[in-house]
Amino acid sequence: MSENILEINDDSFEKVVLQSDKPVMVDFWAPWCGPCKAIAPSVEALEKEFGDQMSFVKVNVDDNPITPSKYSVQAIPTLIFFKNGEIAEQITGMVPKQKLEDTIKEII
């Protein structure tokens, strides 16, 4: 995992995501999830490209059940894009890097 992608938990979610002054992409994942591992290189590449304009964080759904439940995360990976503390976009499942890039460009 890229050192610039912050691993957060239920306790830090509000401060890191909802109170952020720039858009945030939250990757809801679990260590046992194959598609989560498959999408990780795309997320890391996008962080390198857009990390100055958007924050990238991960939430392990096994260790932090409150936040995924609050946002109705039913399957992983689920990527939720927040802007000004509100959900701007949500993508579930393995998707091409280009779709993620297009979504980021729309939000920032």
Query: Mean pLDDT over residues 51-69, rounded?
Result: 97
Query: Mean pLDDT over residues 58-63, rounded?
Result: 98
DSSP state of 70: H
User: CB burial class (10 A; 0-12, 13-18, 19+) of residue 6?
Assistant: middle
pLDDT tens digits for 84-99? 999 999 999 999 999 9
Domains and CATH numbers, the chain: 6-103 (3.40.30.10)
Q: How far apart are alpha carbons 101 and 49 in whole angstroms?
A: 9
Q: How far apart are alpha carbons 47 and 30 in whole angstroms?
A: 19
pLDDT value for 94: 94
Confidence of residue 3 (pLDDT cuts 50, 70, 90): confident
* 85's tokens: 């503390």
Rounded to two decimals, the pTM is 0.96
Confidence of residue 34 (pLDDT cuts 50, 70, 90): very high
Which positions are annotated as active-site residues?
33, 36
